Amino acid sequence: MGCKMIKDILRYSDQMPLFYKYLKGKGYSAQLLYRYTKSGWLEKLSKGVYKKQGQALSPVLVVKALQEQLQLEIFIGAQTAMALQNKSHYVKFDQKYQLFVYSQARLNGWIKSLPYFQFNKITLFTAPLTGLTELEGVRISSLERAFIEMAELVPDNAAYDELINNLELVPNLRTELLQTLLEGCLSIKAKRLFLHAADKVQHKWFARLNLGKVSLGKGPRQLVKKGVYDKKYNIYVPKVD
């Protein structure tokens, strides 16, 4: 039995954390995990968090563990999701991974202390699972969803010019999915800024959107002081040199 259990542990990547809550459900006692740690099979990262000895943790596999082991509604989104799908001008993974946390997901102190994550506790869509896709077993935002998320993060955690530059790379976004996401988006700012940027780029999918079904609210939105006013979408955007 013990041999089988250590073989099961060894199946996991050494770049993925292993949570005690998950391991306990699979029959691993605290005493057994202590023995594995003392023998060098496992390394204890924090209270209730382990990993196999070996390489440093992978941010993507950390997210996978949060999704699979702890069943958290947490997803890689915005410009990070674009970069993982090779649809970004800026593949900069020295920057923080943009994560979106939904429902009442509780993040423990160890998770929140990880330096490579930016946690965004934003409920952007009426149906929070709409527009997700999978990349090597990890649920991340589709490109359509990622652009709306990125618009929400401008200017604090995303750059306005980067949003427009990335939109230029995607002439084939799915209009039907975009329509669904825009109609279900709860952020007036995100919708206006995304549509403003898409209007500037003028891909064919943009002309197929039915903007009459998208609620854009009333009154101006100001992303930055002394910005440029777009009358069509009633939004002040940063100046681009």
CA–CA gap between residue 12 and residue 221 (Å, rounded): 47
Return the ∠ at Cα 67 (arms to 167 and 80), rounded to 5°: 20
Query: Do residues 95 and 209 both lie within one domain?
Result: yes
Query: Do residues 45 and 88 both lie within one domain?
Result: no
Q: Which two tokens stand for residue 186?
A: 């709860």
Question: Could you give the C-alpha distances from 44 to 4, 19, 120, 209, in angstroms and in order?
Answer: 21, 10, 27, 51
Query: Do residues 194 and 228 both lie within one domain?
Result: yes
Of the pLDDT bands very low, low, confident and very high (cuts 50, 70, 90), residue 123 is: confident
Q: What is the 3-state secondary structure (H, E, C) of 130-172?
A: CCEEEECCEEEECHHHHHHHHHHHCCCCCCHHHHHHHHCCCCC
Output the pLDDT for position 157: 92
pLDDT higher than 60, residue 89: no
Question: In a 3-state reduction of DSSP, which class is residue 232?
Answer: coil
Residue range 140-148: mean pLDDT, rounded: 97
Amino acid at residue number 236: Y
Q: What is the pTM of this model?
A: 0.91
Query: Do residues 130 and 216 both lie within one domain?
Result: yes
Query: Do residues 69 and 92 both lie within one domain?
Result: yes
Query: Do residues 220 and 181 both lie within one domain?
Result: yes
Query: Do residues 99 and 79 both lie within one domain?
Result: yes
Query: Do residues 129 and 232 both lie within one domain?
Result: yes
Query: Do residues 184 and 200 both lie within one domain?
Result: yes
Domain count, the chain: 2
Q: Which domain holds residue 44?
A: 2-52
Query: Do residues 134 and 191 both lie within one domain?
Result: yes
Query: Do residues 29 and 71 both lie within one domain?
Result: no
Output the pLDDT for position 148: 98
Of the pLDDT bands very low, low, confident and very high (cuts 50, 70, 90), residue 88 is: low
Query: Do residues 178 and 231 both lie within one domain?
Result: yes
Of the pLDDT bands very low, low, confident and very high (cuts 50, 70, 90), residue 161 is: very high
Output the pLDDT for position 1: 47
pLDDT higher than 70, residue 241: no
